[in-house]
Each structure stands twice: as C-alpha cells, then as structure tokens.
C-alpha cells in the first residue's frame, strides 16, 4: 500500500524527528530527508516541513542546501530556522537577536490555513537566537509572541503566503509544550496538503518484526536489559521476531543503580517470562575504576559507555554466546542528543552511543528495534505487546544511572564571567523580591539546538510557584551564561557557597542513593509519582556556609518525550518532609528545587 507522505527536511535541530513522529501520530507517513537531497526525491510528497537547526540563519550558515525545493508546487512549512529560511528566500530579513527559551504567548493576527480553529492567543514554545525582522512581497504577518508581561512583542513570529502555499513559525509546533501544536501540524497535513490518514501502530509492529528477522538472520541477540521500559519493550519485540531461544538478556549492575534496583529488575524480568536466559553481572568495581578521578561530564559518560561494552564482551565470552548481535533499547532522544544525525550538535553522549558502540553499529553488530521511537510511543507499543502498565509507566532512569547525577569537581572555583553575571542575577531576583547567587560550578543544558555548559543560579525567597517560574524565565532571558535556576529549600539565604573537590566514589554514591530513596518514597506516598515524568535527585559538590560537603537537588519535571520539559510543582507537605529528611543526611548541607524548563536546561544535570 502506498501512503500519502510528508517530507521533513532535517537541518539538525533537536526536534526534526519529533516533527515526523507528530505527523505519524496523525496516521500519515512522514519521512526524514536531508537538505542536500535531489529535487526529484521531494516530488512524491504532499508537503514539506523545514526543521529547526543549530545553525544561525542570520549568518548565512547552512545556506548551501538544495533551494530548488522552493520551485516545486508543493506546500512548504518552516519551523524556527526553517521559518527564517522561508522569510529570507522570499525577500524578508533575519537578524541575530531576540533570543527566547521556553513558553510564550502567540497572538494570532487575521485568518490563515495553518491556524484554523485556534483561539486568539495560544501557548507556544520557543528556542532560538535569530529572528525574522521583515517579510517579502505578498507575505503576511500571522502571529506575534510575547514572553510574560515584561518582554517586547516579537514580530513576525508566524508568517505566510496563502497563494504560494508557504508558511513559517518561529516557535516549535512539534513539541508537546506548544499546547495546540498538533492541531497546527494537522491543519498543514490535512487542510493544506490534503493527506489521507493510513499509517498505524499495527503496521509498525508487522514491519518491524519482519525487518528484525531479516537483520538477525540465523544469529542470536544478547540484549542489555536495564529493567527500564525501553529495553524491556525491545526484548519483547526481538523475542517475537527471532523466538525466545535466540534472545539472551544481560543486566549489568554498574554500581550506579538506585537502592535495591538490580534485584528488583531481575525479579521483574523473571516475572515477565524473560528469566530463562537472563544473566546478571556485578560489574560495579569495573565501573568505579573507570570513573576514578574523572570530573568532566562527557568524560564520565564516555567511561560509563565503554565500561558497558567491556562488561558485555566479557559476559558474552564467559557464557560462550557466539555469533551474537548487541541488542539495545535505544530510543530516538539518545541518538539526537548525542549529535547522531548529520547536522545536530552533541548535547550529551548517551551511554548507548559511545564510539565503541558506533563502531559495532558500523559493522552491523547492533540491533535497536525502537531507535526511531519516543518514550510515549514505546509505552503505547508496550501496551500492545502485553507488558504490564506499572512497568510501562516507571519513571525513565538514564543508562549511566546515578553517575550523571553525582556532579564532580576539582575543587577550583569556577567564577568566570561572575563580575557581569552576579549583579544581573541579583537585579532580576530583586525585581521579584527575592535574592540570588550564581553557583561556581556548571551543568549541561540546551539552547537553540546547541549544547550549553553554564552556571546555575540559586534563588532564595518566599514566592508562589508561578512567580518562581516567571523569575526563572526572566533570568534565562536577561542573563547570558545562565542555564539553570534552583530554588533554595534550606532555612536561609546562604552567604557563601564553595565547590569541594569530589569524584565518583562509593561513599558519595551511597549518600545520593539514600537521598534518591527518600525522594522516590515521598513521591509515591504523596501520590505524585504517577503524575510526573521523572524526578532525578542530584548531588552537587558544593559546601554551604562551611556547614558540610554536599548540596542535594530535586529535579521534578513534566514531559512527554523528554525533548522539552517543564518543572513539576510538589506538594508543600512533601517538600517539608524532604527538607527535614534530606538535610539530616550525614554530609548534606543544602537542598534546592530545580525550576528550569528544557530548554535552556536539560532534565539531567550532565
């Protein structure tokens, strides 16, 4: 059967693939195309969407793509960088500036095919450095955005030319935080391009099982099973394709797991009937040895990823499993954040995308049956494959585990740029009646599709939740060099916070494990666990007022696909309990609540 299809041109933005997924959820086939693909490759599509990019349109970066697509009589819709490219192509201008991250209000101007059925003002999601400053002949301004009360209106946030069938929006309709983004995409796919919906999850399963059979052939698969949703669903799918006899599972206890986690995972996999060929390996000594002395986040991630490959090879040899492929439950964000598509930036290297694994992939030795899905789709697929709900709705836990939640430091103060940052941070906080300090360490974030490694800010003050979020948004907008906002849950505003020398050790991991256990237990008891996406607990090597060695951070977030996230509000009673319990842990002197959206932060700190 041939399907109506939309082409998504991947300029390397963090969300290009998400656009394709959102279209497939409308039961319309969407395919990713490269910007330099020949014009003929585009002729069969009913519409073209141009994605965002880590490049800057104002500087003419990435401008050598195939522009002949604009001569095709096919509707084209650009998002972010794509929007700027459409503006420039048809006589408009783009300037560097007007950067925005996170939520904004879109005021819709006049009638247009892409905004049909939407209200006069809609909540949208921004992440950009450049802005459209004028449009060419025949183009109309279709929307203007504002971020909170204090910002200048952002003109030309949506533009279009109904005759040419060309539209652009500065925001990202594909992310879940653009509340009616799917309707905007549906208006384009159905209303403008006239697609007929014919693409379903049943077809996905049939096609995937068939593809796995061809790929595995007569070999066997040795699958790394963390006990999380992704590897469990991957195991089920591979089992369906090759039969249980040729699927072996390896659970590696890397010493970076939660309290009691490895035992619980083994029990769960046995309960699912996957126990016959399950091997559990305690490799915690090897992982700790690989991490000894490391501080830099990407170096830690590389060490953890390599230790997984070594554990895998060692166990395969010990068990005498031959002619095997490495099975992994990799999902799409792992690939895109690792810079795994041609033009994307490396935000962070996921454990299943380290060079040793990429080398095995190049040799055709890796099977990843769900590598183009997002978590919500994996969960939907898992339900279809009969995996119990409580397993499917577990919080995601990263492959490198607590290793990326235990920040390390040489102990040297990192105050570069503080002369400028500190007064700006204090001024923004003062506008809200709070006080704030930049912290002398860094954490990983993502801004306009690029990795950032910048300072968090610690704010102290008794503001209601919504005001905290507004303060955080104002900080990100007004102060360059800041990518995270922490709310102080300690008893008073600290006078002095200094980094302490710290690396990954069993003793520190035990402190973090204990804090994490208190948090997870509290979330369950207060009925919050199932209402949020995830709540990492993070340990920072910071000493507060000379009182102790560590600072604990709670990072509760709402998300659907982990490509964007919003901070989740926790009940006051839970925060009170955690304040008492966590601050009583030996060696802990501070507690903070992360109120950062993604972007400009990421969910994990490293």
The CB-of-515 to ligand XMP minimum distance in angstroms stands at 17
Q: How far is CA 483 from the centre of its chain?
A: 15
Interaction of residue 598 with ligand XMP, rule CB under 6 A: yes
Active-site residue, from 80, 195, 485, 535: 80
Q: Which residue from 444, 436, 93 is spatially nearest to 297, judged by alpha carbons?
A: 444
The CB-of-402 to ligand XMP minimum distance in angstroms stands at 11
Q: How far apart are CA 293 and CA 409, in angstroms?
A: 10
The CB-of-373 to ligand XMP minimum distance in angstroms stands at 13
Collapsing DSSP to helix, strand or coil, 359 comes out as: helix
Q: How far apart are CA 590 and CA 228, in angstroms?
A: 30
Residue bearing tokens 């994990």: 604
Instruction: Identify which of residues 85 and 334 has a Cβ nearer to ligand XMP in the complex.
Output: 334
Q: Interface residues for ligand XMP in 522-561 (CB under 6 A)?
A: 534
Interaction of residue 599 with ligand XMP, rule CB under 6 A: no
Q: Which residues contact 62 (CB under 8 A, 6 or more apart)?
A: 11, 12, 35, 53, 55, 81, 343
The CB-of-275 to ligand XMP minimum distance in angstroms stands at 23
Residue bearing tokens 């010493």: 255
Give the pairing of strands 278-282 and 247-253.
parallel
Number of residues that bind ligand XMP (CB under 6 A): 16
Residue bearing tokens 């025949």: 138
Interaction of residue 603 with ligand XMP, rule CB under 6 A: yes
Instruction: Identify which of residues 157 and 563 has a Cβ nearer to ligand XMP in the complex.
Output: 563
Query: Binding string to ligand XMP for residues 231 to 260, with x set by CB under 6 A, is what?
Result: ------------------------------
Q: Interface residues for ligand XMP in 291-320 (CB under 6 A)?
A: none
Instruction: Identify which of residues 122 and 253 has a Cβ nearer to ligand XMP in the complex.
Output: 253
Q: Contact region for ligand XMP (CB under 6 A) — 22-30, 151-159, 394-402, 504-512?
A: 394-402
Helix axes 355-362, 297-319, angle to 10 degrees: 50
Give the pairing of strands 93-108 and 140-146.
antiparallel
Interaction of residue 277 with ligand XMP, rule CB under 6 A: no
Bond preceding residue 600 cis, omega within 30 of 0: yes
Task: Work out whether the CA dihedral 11, 16, 19, 24 comes out positive or negative.
Answer: positive
Q: Interface residues for ligand XMP in 339-378 (CB under 6 A)?
A: 348, 350-351
Contact 557, 565 (CB under 8 A): yes
Instruction: Identify which of residues 184 and 371 has a Cβ nearer to ligand XMP in the complex.
Output: 371
Active-site residue, from 85, 100, 174, 514: 174
- What DSSP character marks residue 349? -
Instruction: Identify which of residues 195 and 302 has a Cβ nearer to ligand XMP in the complex.
Output: 302
Per CB under 6 A, the list member of 102, 399, 403, 494 interacting with ligand XMP is: 399
Q: Contact region for ligand XMP (CB under 6 A) — 210-218, 362-370, 504-512, 595-603?
A: 595-603
- What DSSP character marks residue 572? H
Interaction of residue 35 with ligand XMP, rule CB under 6 A: no
Q: Interface residues for ligand XMP in 83-142 (CB under 6 A)?
A: none
Active-site residue, from 83, 154, 172, 350: 172
The CB-of-258 to ligand XMP minimum distance in angstroms stands at 13
Interaction of residue 516 with ligand XMP, rule CB under 6 A: no
From residue 118, alpha-carbon distances to 121, 168, 485 in Å are 8, 16, 33
| Strand segments (E) across 399-536 | 435-438, 443-447, 450-460, 482-488, 497-499
Per CB under 6 A, the list member of 75, 92, 173, 333 interacting with ligand XMP is: 333
Q: Contact region for ligand XMP (CB under 6 A) — 285-293, 361-369, 396-404, 541-549?
A: 396-404
The CB-of-113 to ligand XMP minimum distance in angstroms stands at 34
Contact 599, 477 (CB under 8 A): no
Q: How many residues does the chain have?
A: 606
Instruction: Identify which of residues 47 and 297 has a Cβ nearer to ligand XMP in the complex.
Output: 297
Kindly report the number of other CB atoms within 10 A of residue 1's CB atom: 5
Instruction: Identify which of residues 286 and 603 has a Cβ nearer to ligand XMP in the complex.
Output: 603
Q: Contact region for ligand XMP (CB under 6 A) — 87-95, 264-272, 393-401, 523-531?
A: 393-401
Helix (H) or strand (E) holding 162: none
- Catalytic, 80? Answer yes
Alpha helices (H) in 292-435, listed in sequence order: 297-319, 332-337, 355-362, 375-384, 389-392, 418-431
Instruction: Identify which of residues 154 and 300 has a Cβ nearer to ligand XMP in the complex.
Output: 300
The CB-of-406 to ligand XMP minimum distance in angstroms stands at 14
Instruction: Identify which of residues 173 and 333 has a Cβ nearer to ligand XMP in the complex.
Output: 333
The CB-of-398 to ligand XMP minimum distance in angstroms stands at 3
The CB-of-39 to ligand XMP minimum distance in angstroms stands at 36
Contact 367, 216 (CB under 8 A): yes
Helix axes 375-384, 201-216, angle to 10 degrees: 90
Q: Contact region for ligand XMP (CB under 6 A) — 27-35, 202-210, 518-526, 596-604?
A: 596-604
Interaction of residue 602 with ligand XMP, rule CB under 6 A: yes
Instruction: Identify which of residues 127 and 534 has a Cβ nearer to ligand XMP in the complex.
Output: 534
Over 178-245, what HEC string results?
A: CCCHHHHHHHHHHHHCCCCCCCCHHHHHHHHHHHHHHHHCCCEEEEECCCCHHHHHHHHHHHHHHCHH
Per CB under 6 A, the list member of 339, 400, 403, 522 interacting with ligand XMP is: 400
Interaction of residue 396 with ligand XMP, rule CB under 6 A: yes
The CB-of-338 to ligand XMP minimum distance in angstroms stands at 8
Q: What is the dihedral of CA 557, 558, 560, 565, to 10 degrees?
A: -60
Interaction of residue 185 with ligand XMP, rule CB under 6 A: no
The CB-of-117 to ligand XMP minimum distance in angstroms stands at 32
Q: How far apart are CA 212 and CA 369, in angstroms?
A: 7
Instruction: Identify which of residues 84 and 452 has a Cβ nearer to ligand XMP in the complex.
Output: 452
Binding site for ligand XMP (CB under 6 A): 333-334, 337, 348, 350-351, 396, 398-400, 534, 562, 598, 602-604
Active site residues: 80, 172, 174
């Amino acid at each position: 059967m041939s399907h109506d299809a939309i082409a998504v041109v991947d300029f390397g933005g963090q969300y290009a693939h998400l656009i394709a997924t959102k279209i497939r959820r409308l039961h319309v086939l969407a395919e990713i195309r490269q910007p330099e693909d020949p014009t003929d490759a585009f002729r069969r599509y009913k519409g073209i969407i141009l994605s965002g990019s880590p490049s800057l349109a104002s500087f003419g970066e990435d401008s050598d793509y195939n522009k002949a697509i604009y001569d095709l009589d096919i509707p084209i819709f650009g998002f972010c960088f794509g929007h700027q490219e459409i503006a420039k192509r048809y006589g408009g201008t783009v300037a560097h500036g007007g950067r925005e991250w996170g939520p904004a209000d879109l005021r819709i101007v006049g009638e247009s095919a892409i905004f049909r059925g939407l209200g006069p003002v809609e909540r949208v999601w921004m992440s950009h450095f450049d802005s459209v400053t004028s449009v060419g002949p025949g183009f109309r301004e279709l929307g203007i955005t504002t971020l909170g009360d204090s910002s200048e209106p952002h003109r030309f946030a949506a533009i279009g030319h109904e005759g040419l069938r060309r539209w652009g929006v500065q925001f990202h309709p594909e992310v879940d935080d653009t509340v009616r983004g799917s309707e905007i995409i549906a208006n384009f796919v159905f209303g403008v391009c006239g697609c007929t919906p014919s693409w379903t999850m049943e077809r996905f399963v049939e096609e995937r099982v068939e593809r796995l059979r061809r790929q595995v052939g007569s070999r066997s698969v040795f699958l790394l099973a963390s006990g999380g949703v992704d590897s469990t669903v991957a195991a089920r799918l591979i089992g369906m394709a090759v039969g249980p006899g040729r699927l072996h599972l390896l659970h590696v206890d890397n010493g970076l797991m939660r309290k009691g986690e490895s035992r619980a995972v083994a029990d769960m996999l046995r309960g699912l009937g996957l126990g016959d060929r399950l091997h559990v390996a305690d490799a915690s000594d090897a992982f700790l040895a690989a991490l000894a002395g490391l501080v830099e986040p990407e170096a830690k991630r590389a060490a953890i990823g390599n230790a997984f490959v070594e554990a895998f090879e060692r166990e395969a040899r010990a068990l005498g499993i031959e002619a095997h492929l490495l099975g992994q439950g990799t999902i799409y964000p792992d690939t895109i954040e690792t810079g795994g598509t041609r033009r994307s930036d490396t935000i962070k290297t996921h454990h299943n995308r380290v060079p040793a694994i990429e080398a095995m992939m190049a040799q055709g030795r890796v099977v990843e049956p769900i590598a183009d899905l997002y978590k919500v789709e994996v969960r939907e697929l898992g339900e279809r494959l009969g995996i119990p709900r409580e397993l499917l709705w577990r919080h995601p836990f990263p492959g490198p585990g607590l290793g990326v939640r235990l920040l390390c430091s040489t102990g040297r103060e990192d105050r570069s740029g503080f002369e400028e940052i500190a007064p700006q941070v204090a001024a923004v906080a003062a506008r809200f009646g709070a006080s704030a300090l930049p912290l002398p360490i860094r954490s990983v974030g993502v801004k306009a599709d690029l990795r950032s490694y910048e300072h968090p800010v610690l704010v102290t003050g008794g503001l209601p939740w919504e005001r905290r979020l507004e303060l955080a948004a104002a900080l990100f907008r007004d102060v360059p060099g800041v990518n995270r906002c922490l709310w102080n849950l300690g008893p008073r505003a600290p006078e002095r916070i200094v980094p302490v020398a710290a690396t990954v050790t069993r003793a520190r991991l035990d402190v973090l494990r204990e804090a994490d256990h208190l948090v997870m237990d509290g979330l369950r008891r207060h009925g919050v666990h199932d209402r949020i996406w995830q709540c990492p607990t993070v340990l920072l090597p910071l000493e507060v007022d000379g009182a102790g060695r560590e600072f604990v951070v709670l990072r509760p977030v709402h998300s659907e696909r982990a490509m964007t996230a919003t901070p989740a509000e926790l009940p006051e009673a839970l925060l009170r309990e955690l304040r008492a319990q966590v601050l009583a842990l030996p060696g802990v002197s501070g507690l903070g609540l992360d109120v950062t959206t993604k972007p400009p932060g990421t969910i994990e700190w490293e």
